[in-house]
Structure formats: structure tokens, C-alpha cells
Structure 1
Amino acid sequence: MNKILIAGLFLLTGVLQACANDSTQQKTGVTADNQLKLPAGFTATVVADKLGRARHIAVNSNGDVYVKLERLKDGKGIIRLRDTNGDGVADEQFAFCNYAGTGIAISNGYLYASSNSEVYRYKFNAKNEIENPDNPEIIVTGLVDKRQHASKSITLDGKGFIYVNIGAPSNACQETDRTAGSPGQMPCPILETAGGIWQFKIDKLNQTYADGVRYATGLRNVVGLDWNTVTNDLFVTQHGRDQLNTLHPSLYNNEQSAELPAEEFFVVKKGMDFGWPYCYYDPVQKKKVLAPEYGGDGKKEGLCENKEKPLYAFPAHWGPNALLFYNSNQFGSKYQNGAFIAFHGSWNRAPLKQGGYNVVFLPMKDGKPTGMYEIFADDFAGGEENLTPAKAKHRPCGLAMDKNGALYISDDQAGTVWKIVYTGK
């Protein structure tokens, strides 16, 4: 076959794909680099790539993977990935919904998804297809939607309630945000409508703040959250505050600011107060201390002595964006009931090297850590020279598990989804 004929065939193929229906695409392969570093015996397959800003993900009982996009792609905000031949690679995509966002979950025959101000749901039919993808029910409406910490992550308890993160649109609730010398507001007015977890019913439509319960407060921004079915509790990972040195150079040097505060992992029970913006957790002193905007000097505890403490403290500024309790035995007993956490990656650990850009595993039993965390999946960034938000090839963002125990990881930098299985080889 001559070169001209080959070129013509490639051109014809491109035209046919371009003319295909934009909500369903037949994929012929993926191009993402697949060199993740994993423990021995684990392998990763690229399910799909170039999806757009892929945030959180959920897997249905039939293996379909649903991906929530932070920005619309071709006018759509959710992509369903389907593997029709069992090779681990999605050969069919279906896109729907006209809103962007982060949160997505599946529970009791419904797909739940969030924009930055609403929570929606879609009903599955007996064939595991969404009945009306163009007309979802609105579960919650009118949530705080400001540029900073706007994502509304969600999880469900399987008992009739959905939990929604409403991040604080602020770093430390100063009178003028992120401004040196600006005092903190006391009390912080943001906490009335943000900076916490709100609980809503899943069977009541068009709920507002008045219909929900402020389940927990004092949480700056929770992007990763999951309901632990073993302990029957909500668990979250918090993004800690920034810029201690920039805003308070007389109290903190650059190295201290790079290591403070810890990214905190909490169990959350109704009515708890975790201390933001008045407090932060110092992993060196192993205590919560008063924030400098509220009279703190890096050591003083003050009112923080009575705020909730973390179950575990992770390195500062890593950006925990997803939390998943692994309740399968596919990976072996070591991983059963432990927690996977996807770290999006830092931007503000200078002069130290940036960190995160990985997925870690924390062993747990009865809802409590039993050891130190270990890095499970690494090298998403593509080398230490790429450990910055601008240069990283991939940034882990979402986690999900299928009924067979395979782990899925999404990336909102290049739009890649991986499927990780244990082969023992």
C-alpha cells in the first residue's frame, strides 16, 4: 500500500470520528504514559485519557466508570466510560450534563453529582443505564459558590443522607484575605454557610441550607471524604492553610511555612468543631496551636486545646483530594479496611521541594491508623523536575473501587483514568 493511500485512509478515519455523535465515542486506544510506580505485584492499565479536568470518579456495579469534570468538555460535565471487551480499556464513552464540578457518587440505584452550587441525582434503570441524563433531579441548591475552595465533594452513608463539603472561600478568615497585617475576624462569619460539612436528605428535592444540618464545622476545605461502612462514620482529609511566612515573617521562616500546618485526617461525628480558622495542627509539637491572625505565636494553644485533633497528620500542602476506604480482599489482607488518599500535589513548599503528586495507603483497623502511611502509587508528575502544578504530567484527584476490588485513580491535569489490579506477579 503506497504512502498516499495510507494518508488518505487516516484522513478518512479522522473525518468519520469527527462526524460521530458527540455524546458517544468509540475509542481505539489510549496514549497516556503508563509508567506509574507501584508495589510489586500490582499493574496499572490506562482506562482512558485526554478526558479533560477529571476530578472525582465512581464505578457502577456493571463496571461503568463515571467521571466528573471540573470544566465542561464539548459542553458536557460527566463522562461514562465503558469497557465492552474486558481488557480494562474503555472502548465506549458517553458524555452528559451541562454543569462542571467535582463530586460524584453512586448509591442505592442513583448517580449523584455536584456542581459548585448544586447537588443532582440520576436514576439507573434495570439495565444500569441512566433513565434521563438530560433532566436530573435537584437535591440541594443555592450552596456557596465562590472562586476559592468552591468544589462540593460528596459522599453518602447508605442510610438516607448525603454529606457535602462546603469549603471556606478564604485562607484564614482575615478581614482582607491573604494580606499581611490583616487581623482575623472573630467570630468568623464564613462559618455560618461554609467551612464545614453539611448533611442533607437524599429523598427530598430542592433543599437549601435551611433544610440541611451543619454536621461539622471548622474545616477549611475538604476535597476528600468517604463514609466508612465498617465503623459507620464519616472520615475526611482537610487542606490546611497557607502562607504562614508570607503573612507573618516575624513568626515563621520559609522552612517552617513549608512544613506547617499538617494536612489532617479526621473522623467526623455530628457537632464536631475542628478549629479553622482559629487553629492549625503543628505535627512537630503534636498539638493544635492558635493561628497568628488570632494572637498566636506558633506555640500558644488558647482555645485550640479543645478543638478536635487529627487521627493522622500528613505532610503540609500536599493537597489531599480523595479518600477511599478499601473494603475488598483483592489486594490482600494488608490493605483491607485501610485508607487510600490521593494527593494532588503542592505549590507552596519552597524552599523545600514540592511534594504529593501521589496516592498513599494508610493501614487501619476499627477506624484507627495502625501504622505509618506508605506511598502506593507514584511518579504521576513524571520525575522530580516536574513536581510543580505547571509541569506535572498528571495530578491525582479521584479514587474509586469496583466490585472486584480494582482501584481506579483519576487525574485532572491530563484527564487520565487508571485501573490498578493485583496480579501477584
Structure 2
Amino acid sequence: MGRRSTATWMGAACVAPLLAVSVGAAAACDTAGLDLPPHFCATVFAKDARQPRHIAVAADGTLYANLNHGEGNHNLMALTDTNGDGVADKRALFGRGGATGLTIHDGWLYAASTDDVRRYRIDDKNQPRGPGEVIVTGLPDQDTHSARGIAVDDANHLYVSIGAPSNACQEDDRQPGSPGQDPCPLLKRQGGVWRFSADQPNQKFSAEQRYATGLRNMFAMTWDRARGRLIGAQMGRDQLSALWPKRFSTEQGVNLPAETLFNIEHGSHFGWPYCYYDDTANEYRLNPEYGGDGQKIGRCADYDKPIAAYPAHWAPMSVVFYHADAFPKAYRGGAFIAFHGSWNRSPEPQAGFRVIYQPFENGRPSANYQTFAGPTGFTGEEIVRSPANADHRPAGLAVGPKGALYVSDDQGSTIYRITYGGGR
């Protein structure tokens, strides 16, 4: 089974995969070691940044990061560039995070930990203080897929993604031939998105607040304010061939299932664990745990489809829409997506490790994605056989007040700042 190197999108005509950019008089500039399109520049905004995951940038340019490796009880960091040279020269640890999700809304910084979501008032000095205000508590306790994605909409709803601690809801997880549980009990409290009030303290997590379901692990999530909708990118299941070698070839295990981008509405069901998405066929397929053989569709015809799909196992970590005007027109209105890189494409090299740009038009993906940053600048020159030998792995994305794109890297503990033509 072949794998296309470009995104699959539904209901759009095919156009050229590369974006035409008018470069004008843009000057040459440094790229901080990243592979970028011509005339894009980058600085290392911060080194030794304690494995930053999701990031957010305030109106004054202060960058906040939710850290994988904090210090003591502090898992959040504020970084400021006080002299405008594109490099943070002031940093401070504060607050409680450590579970990826981070966003700014209405003067508050919202941060997820494994068991709650708190918010911190951004004061005049942009230094949040104290333990924060608990907004949601009692998030499900789980050993795997415990990273949370969060987003806040314009009506002050807080969305929290809860991954499922499972590959495909098998009776014995990740065991060859083990059947799937039907119905999957995990979907009551995991494997979906939950909605809360963004400004009501001490809300208790409960199954009744579920907003959407059928999502295995999706913490790449954002509120698209220009179009008033929730968008997220899911990490698909693993090990089709390893667990079901009589039904799926090694090549299929490498190249299936696609990573998927969703328009998430109240009541949406995206098919996990019963289905996976085959981007060559542009269809869901029934998972082998539920009787699938690579061709059967069955109940999967009834679930909400993705709006775009990407190569298998690339691991989307974050998504952000670009509505600033600092980048050329070809990079406006669409989404940047950070892919952390795969671990399970053996015997082929691992892949992903990049930031892509996905064009949108009339609210839907309109063309093939373009690799915007990476992969060589992240992985180094050697073939990646394990994610451990990649130098850097993209994790978080944020757009600054002047239109710069920030990219965090949790493997190299680096945060990059990307501009166009040397602009600030």
C-alpha cells in the first residue's frame, strides 16, 4: 500500500502543493539551524528551557510555557525579550502545570496539569503569582496519554481534551489478537473533549460534561476565532501489523492509520476505538479488534469524518491558525501544525519531526500541506531510527503580537522565534 506524501483533504480540488510567495526586497537572514522557506528567519528565543510543551504569547510579547520538567512545584515559565533582539533575556518559574495544555484568554493564562486546570491573572508586569485559581479539578487519573489540550472560546467555554489510556480499547491492551471491548468503557470519561465554564472556579470533572467523543489522543487543539470553531488534530492508533500480522502487512503498519484533523462540534463522534482512517481510500476502516480486515467499513460509515489527514504516526502536538499579516499572504488564514515525530514506523526510518502549514479557504483545507520547518533542522543529519536520536522535536506553537511564529521543542529544551524577512 503506497502512502502519499501530501495531506488528504475532503471536498477540495487539488492545487499545487508548494506555496507561491512574493519575496519582494526581503533580506537574507539566519535560520537558527531550521529548514525554512526562503526569506524566513529564526532566532533561538530560549535555550535550556526545561522541556517546553505548549506555549502562549501575551500582548506585550511575553511567552509562557507549560514545562515537562519544572522545578519543585513550579511547572510554568514566563520568558521575556526586554531589548527586542529576538532572544529571551528574562525568565521566571511559577505556578502548576506539567500536562501540556496552555492558552491565554481575556487577561488570564490557563494551564493544565494531569488532574486540574488553573488560571493565572496576567498582571501589569506579566508575572503571574500564587497557586492560581482552580477552574476544573478531578481530571481522570491515567498513566498514559495524560497530556491535556485546552482551548477557550469567545463565549467563555473552556474545552479540555482527555486522551484514552489505550491503543484500541482491547481487553488486554497492546496484546496480539486481543479483541476490543464493545462498547468501549473508556469513552465514558476519556477519549474525547469536555466543556466547562472558563470563569467558574472549582468545577468537578464528570462524564456529563462531555462535548465530543471518539478521539484516542488529541491535545493538539485550538479555538479558531476567525471562524468560531474548535479544531483539533488526533494521534491515531499504533501497531496494526504488530498486533494483527495475519490481517495487516508490515507496510500497512508503517503507513496506517493517518493522523487526522477535525472540526469538533457538540456531539461529534470520530470513531475511536472502532475505526481508523485510511487516507489512501479517504475512508474510515473497521479496526481489527472489532472485526476489520483493512477493507471493511461497517459501523464506521456513521462517524464524523476528518477535514484533513496526514502521514501515519507523525504525532501532532499542537495547532494554531495564522491570522496576522507579518507573513506573506500565502501563509495567512490557514493552520500551522507541529508534529512531534514517530516512534513506531520500524523497519522504516521514523518520520514527522516538523512544522507544516495547512492552507484553508472558505473554512476548509484547500490544498496540500507544505513542510514549513524541518525535518532536518530538528532531527540532525542522521536517519532517525528512534525519536531518542533526534536533536529536537517540535511540541508547541504560538503566534506573537507582531506576527512571529514561536515553536517549542521539548527534546532540545529550545524555543524558536520565526519571522519573515528579518522583521521583528
Confirm or deny a common fold (TM above 0.5). yes
SS of equivalent residue, structure 1 residue 305: helix
The partner residue of 1:327 within 308, 316, 323 is 323
Amino acid at match of 1:420: I
The answer for the alignment partner of 1:254 in structure 2 is 250
Residues 292-303 of structure 1 mapped to structure 2, 5 A cutoff: 292-303=288-299
The answer for the alignment partner of 1:4 in structure 2 is none
Residues 191-210 of structure 1 mapped to structure 2, 5 A cutoff: 191-210=187-206
Highest RCO, 1 vs 2 (Cα 8 Å, sep ≥ 6): 2
CA distance in 1, matches of 2:347, 2:285: 24
Q: Could you tell which deviates more after superposition, 385-394 or 254-263?
A: 385-394
The answer for the alignment partner of 2:420 in structure 1 is 422
CA distance in 2, matches of 1:393, 1:218: 33
Residues 96-107 of structure 1 mapped to structure 2, 5 A cutoff: 96-107=94-105
Q: CA deviation at 1:366?
A: 2.6
The partner residue of 1:61 within 59, 63, 68 is 59
Amino acid at match of 1:243: Q
Q: CA deviation at 1:124?
A: 1.9
SS of equivalent residue, structure 2 residue 299: helix
CA contact (8 A) 2:151 2:158 kept: yes
CA distance in 1, matches of 2:343, 2:276: 19
CA contact (8 A) 2:193 2:212 kept: yes
Query: Could you give the per-residue CA deviations for residues 267-295 of structure 1, whole angstroms, max 9, x where no partner exists?
Result: 11110100000000011221101100001
The partner residue of 1:43 within 41, 44, 48 is 41
1:214 aligned onto 2:204? no
CA contact (8 A) 1:345 1:388 kept: no
The answer for the alignment partner of 1:17 in structure 2 is none
Q: CA deviation at 1:414?
A: 1.4
Q: CA deviation at 1:73?
A: 3.2
Q: CA deviation at 1:76?
A: 2.3
The answer for the alignment partner of 1:314 in structure 2 is 310
CA distance in 1, matches of 2:183, 2:208: 22
The partner residue of 2:144 within 134, 141, 148 is 148
CA distance in 1, matches of 2:229, 2:77: 30
CA distance in 2, matches of 1:385, 1:316: 18
SS of equivalent residue, structure 2 residue 329: coil
1:229 aligned onto 2:225? yes
The answer for the alignment partner of 2:93 in structure 1 is 95
Residues 24-423 of structure 1 mapped to structure 2, 5 A cutoff: 34-73=32-71, 75-130=73-128, 133-210=129-206, 213-378=209-374, 379=376, 380-386=378-384, 388-423=386-421
> In the superposition, relative to structure 1, how do residues 66 and 424 fare at CA in structure 2: closer, same or farther (>3 Å)?
closer
Q: CA deviation at 1:166?
A: 0.1
Aligned CA RMSD, in angstroms, stands at 1.5
Unaligned runs of 5+ in 1: 1-32
Unaligned runs of 5+ in 2: 1-30
Query: Could you give the per-residue CA deviations for residues 125-162 of structure 1, whole angstroms, max 9, x where no partner exists?
Result: 344332xx222110001111212100111111132111
CA contact (8 A) 1:80 1:93 kept: yes
The answer for the alignment partner of 2:24 in structure 1 is none
SS of equivalent residue, structure 2 residue 35: coil
Q: CA deviation at 1:389?
A: 1.2
CA contact (8 A) 1:255 1:350 kept: no
CA distance in 1, matches of 2:278, 2:58: 40
CA distance in 2, matches of 1:295, 1:167: 24
Q: CA deviation at 1:198?
A: 0.5
Q: CA deviation at 1:353?
A: 1.9
Q: CA deviation at 1:71?
A: 2.8
Identity of matched residues, %: 47
How many residue pairs get aligned? The number is: 391
CA distance in 1, matches of 2:90, 2:54: 19
SS of equivalent residue, structure 2 residue 206: helix
Q: CA deviation at 1:230?
A: 1.8
> Structure 1 length normalisation: TM-score?
0.89
Q: Could you tell which deviates more after superposition, 211-220 or 177-186?
A: 211-220
CA contact (8 A) 1:381 1:394 kept: yes
> Structure 2 length normalisation: TM-score?
0.90
Amino acid at match of 2:95: C
Query: Could you give the per-residue CA deviations for residues 216-244 of structure 1, whole angstroms, max 9, x where no partner exists?
Result: 10000102111111221101000000000
> In the superposition, relative to structure 1, how do residues 141 and 74 fare at CA in structure 2: closer, same or farther (>3 Å)?
closer
Moved over 3 A (4+): 126-129
CA contact (8 A) 2:355 2:371 kept: yes
